Amino acid sequence: MTQVSTLAKAPQTSKGQRTRQKLVEAAEHEFAELGYERASVAGIVARAEVAQGTFYVYFPDKKSIFVELVDSLSVRLRRFLSAAVAGQPDRLAVERAGLRAFLDFCEQHRGLYRIVPQAEFVDEACYRRYYRCLADGYARGLKSAMERGELRKLDPEIAAHCLMGLTDMIGQNFVLWRPSISRERLIDQVMDLVAHGLAPRAGEVTNLPVRKSGPARAAKRASRAAAKAGGK
């Protein structure tokens, strides 16, 4: 369940739950469009089409509904991912399905990239909780896959954060900034990197020049200087 702010009031009736959810959904649009500082309780209740007094039945202030929103986004994202990867045959298939689902979630909640980063400055515990809950579940899944022999043996916590960072930037760049790229091509490229890393595979020919190390470059420069001096 969504972690309710210690100051927020949990509704006791189904009607109250619907009203509270309507306020949280309105807050998502308000904070996404205006940012935390410019957003207001008045703006939230206007979007939710409820009286301002109704807001205070459920939340004491703007910060409490912001924290509730970030926690809610975390829960909804994890549920969305879990549903998307259920029944996949192996871990790489889970990673592919999870990436596709994450991109879909970002498409549906385009304010995610504006709302979550603000949490670091509004309520750092909330910000840390958002990523910790994602990382803990991810690491458990990777550890299980490693134990089944589906992945290399790595530190699952480090691997989880690496993959989360990759996915996070892919979503921001290719959903928000460059949405024209083929979604299938994008997923194929990311999965090739996840499955095989950066090093060329055996027998693979690359056209990239090999960059010499610092000492090698220095030695080459010294050789050229010596040859030039000898030719004078």
Query: The CATH number of the domain where 178 resides is what?
Result: 1.10.357.10
pLDDT of the residue at 14: 86
Sign of the C-alpha dihedral computed for residues 147, 149, 150 and 155 taken in this order: positive
Q: Is position 210 within any domain?
A: no
pLDDT at 158 over 60: yes
Q: What is the pLDDT of residue 122?
A: 98
How far apart (Å, rounded) are the C-alpha atoms in residues 96 and 103?
A: 11
For residue 135, being part of any structural domain is answered with yes
208-219 pLDDT, tens per residue? 555 555 666 666
Tell me if 15 is assigned to some domain: no
Number of helices and strands in the chain (H, E):
10, 0
Q: Is the pLDDT of residue 165 over 80?
A: yes
Asked if the structure places residue 105 within a domain, the reply is: yes
Domain assignment of residue 29, yes or no: no
Q: Is the pLDDT of residue 6 over 60?
A: no
Mean pLDDT value across residues 69-81: 98
Q: Which of the four pLDDT bands, split at 50, 70 and 90, describes residue 4?
A: very low
**CA atoms of 50 and 19, how far apart (whole Å):** 8
Q: For position 213, what pLDDT does the model report?
A: 54
Residue-averaged pLDDT of the chain: 89
**Residue 45 pLDDT > 60, yes or no?**
yes
The share of the chain scoring above pLDDT 70, in percent, equals: 81
The tally of domains found in the chain comes to: 1
Q: What is the pLDDT of residues 111-141, one digit of tens each?
A: 999 999 999 999 999 999 999 999 999 999 9
Three-state DSSP at 224 gives helix
Residue 145, in any domain of the structure? yes
Per-residue confidence (pLDDT) for residue 207, from 0 to 100: 62
Q: Average pLDDT in the 69-92 region?
A: 97
- Whether 17 is covered by a domain: the verdict is no
- Torsion sign (Cα): 125, 130, 135, 138: positive
Q: Name residue, tokens 């990523």.
A: 131
Residue 109 belongs to what domain range?
A: 63-196
Assigned domain for 94 exists: yes
Nearest to 70 by CA among 137, 132, 141: 132
Q: Please tell me the distance from the alpha carbon of residue 136 to that of residue 141, in angstroms, as a whole number.
A: 9
Whether 220 has a pLDDT exceeding 90, the answer reads no
